[in-house]
Structure 1
């Protein structure tokens, strides 16, 4: 979701990360980045105009359909109604994934049609932000592009549409060419064009999606997707070897060394696990490779310390804020499912759905829907952990 619009060459940024789980202070070297869009994830900034209704034992398809009904306009635009009625490429990608997840070909075509008409750049990547009738920031964000590419490939198979498969492969090829880098431990996904250049690289751990990389690799035959699976797993393992939870942002050196950061440029903020990082267990729990699933499972014990799980934690698992979000419970559900605790995972998915209904926000509702479809069904990926149980 996060998108940087320019590349700054910082000097040396030193970040002292105090984590209660016995984690040492970390030193950050020079790299580029600017302010990010993560603040928009913290919740509603205006009334989304959605009347809460009781959530009672809804199925994944019902949860997904409710997201499409409430947050997608008739022309296919996914609207952040709680954030000024703008649209971001990530939202269009989420809409595409949900539409294919619930098997709604008409909704998929409408969302993809609006996306191609309004966000697709000359190079094939998606412009990040649209508002008031026009693109206001045309820099792409790699998580949105790979999610959209995955959705297109899945839709091509689900709807018997080779044209969609080809479009997904083509979009994925541009991502590989423009927004990846090779390290000694494997290839990694850069967050955007702004992050290109020499090591060390700015890195968002929650952008890596092994299941997506595998699906795009199977569709395209391009070995670089396998390299991304390997490199992302190595970097994620390194992060979780250092800290109980991943940070929203990090820095990756050429040798694969990883340092947590408070923000994309490392210059401000608090190093924490929150609205970005919580997507990581969801990305890894749905992988078909047990090594990836094990990484998601590592996070379950620390997240299970809380009944009312805060959205913002430090890297040792201590609360740093009082925000409640469906994503927090969806992320814990993913970790629990990966660890084989199906009942706890199902309970947390239900809690995520209930919170998305009682306090509707674009971001929280999107992830409540995606989590249900990824973890408790086989419509998005072949290895849904709760489906397997």
Structure 2
């Protein structure tokens, strides 16, 4: 009961500024969240990608922080944050993205993890009455603005500033609105506007799905791109990165953000919505697989479009698929979708 109440309180607290309602929310997330936390978080607070060699990434730590805050699990939140701070946090406040075999394997940060972690710290500070968490959130938020933005846009990380490399699924309108309370109101408002405008331009009114990667041109207009050097993939596709965008935008109470997610629903419901990756016109690529995270993304688009029945069916199917073939990533985004889409607007 305590966890369910905490979810309701968290959602109400983060709904400030909402101006448009959609379909009734899905079932709250404590069950899915607890399954992810129980399965993938070690007792010391490390989130382990058990199906990917047992390593740890900063995004996973951030997901666990968000879910622990949402379910009122203060003890586990504390363990996850202590491990993250001790093993991943850099001197500038950002998080090294990759840890393996007892040490940091790559010190580069990833902007999505830093943004999610700052949001989680800010929410937990209020939920658990811990001012130190608010200070930690503020430090990380400032570091994101200083090191992971360029010309007012959230870029993929410090390495991406020069080329203005964007990962559209890193943008989180809700996180960017929440961090306004920590200061730098105008800068966060600009980051949020650019993130929504970038996604809207890339989906072209629903004619295409968003790509995993993009670049901001000299005049700011985004262009679809292949993965940056060092990453696999030769052409722009809707893949395991982009699939997160519908969830991040559908949870927002900003009508402009929600319309972006809703515009994806006709494409995502065509054929098998569990297939990933897809071409930007919606066709599955050769070698595409059925994966729970694709269903979570499609469910979010259905939610934004007001199709609650499809949303619930897709989330249930995602859970059933993940039960048969458990994955860290699928379990995380099922839990996040159930939790984040439960926010009420109005």
Give TM-score, length-normalised by structure 2: 0.88
Paired residue for 1:63? 32
Paired residue for 2:213? 249
2:77 paired with 1:108:
yes
Q: What displacement does 1:233 show?
A: 1.3
Paired residue for 2:164? 201
Q: What displacement does 1:256 show?
A: 2.1
**Residues 219, 346 of structure 1: alpha-carbon distance in 2 compared, 3 angstrom cutoff:** farther
2:245 paired with 1:280:
yes
Q: What displacement does 1:221 show?
A: 4.7
Q: How does 1:42-81 map to 2 (within 5 A)?
A: 60-81=29-50
2:104 paired with 1:140:
no
User: In structure 2, how many angstroms separate the alpha carbons of the residues matched to 1:178 and 1:351?
Assistant: 39
Residue 226 (structure 1) aligned to one of 153, 172, 189: 189
User: In structure 2, how many angstroms separate the alpha carbons of the residues matched to 1:262 and 1:221?
Assistant: 33
2:54 paired with 1:85:
yes
Contact between 2:63 and 2:116, CA under 8 Å: does it hold in 1? yes
2:145 paired with 1:179:
no
More displaced stretch, 264-273 vs 107-116: 264-273
Residue 297 (structure 1) aligned to one of 245, 257, 262: 262
Number of residues paired by the alignment?
Answer: 318
Q: What displacement does 1:268 show?
A: 5.0
Larger Rg: 1
SS of the residue 2:258 aligns to: helix
Q: What displacement does 1:102 show?
A: 1.2
SS of the residue 1:295 aligns to: helix
RMSD: 1.8
Q: What displacement does 1:260 show?
A: 1.0
Gaps of 5+ in 1: 1-56
Paired residue for 1:168? 137
Paired residue for 1:19? none
Give TM-score, length-normalised by structure 1: 0.78
SS of the residue 2:214 aligns to: strand
User: In structure 1, how many angstroms separate the alpha carbons of the residues matched to 2:254 and 2:182?
Assistant: 18
More displaced stretch, 110-119 vs 229-238: 229-238
Paired residue for 1:11? none
Paired residue for 2:10? none
Contact between 1:217 and 1:225, CA under 8 Å: does it hold in 2? yes
Residue 228 (structure 2) aligned to one of 250, 260, 264: 264
Residue 318 (structure 1) aligned to one of 275, 278, 283: 283
User: In structure 1, how many angstroms separate the alpha carbons of the residues matched to 2:93 and 2:321?
Assistant: 36
User: In structure 1, how many angstroms separate the alpha carbons of the residues matched to 2:251 and 2:268?
Assistant: 18
**Residues 110, 299 of structure 1: alpha-carbon distance in 2 compared, 3 angstrom cutoff:** same
Q: Deviations along 1:220-261, whole A, 9 cap, x unmatched? A: 353211001111111111111175100111111132222211
Residue 215 (structure 1) aligned to one of 178, 203, 208: 178
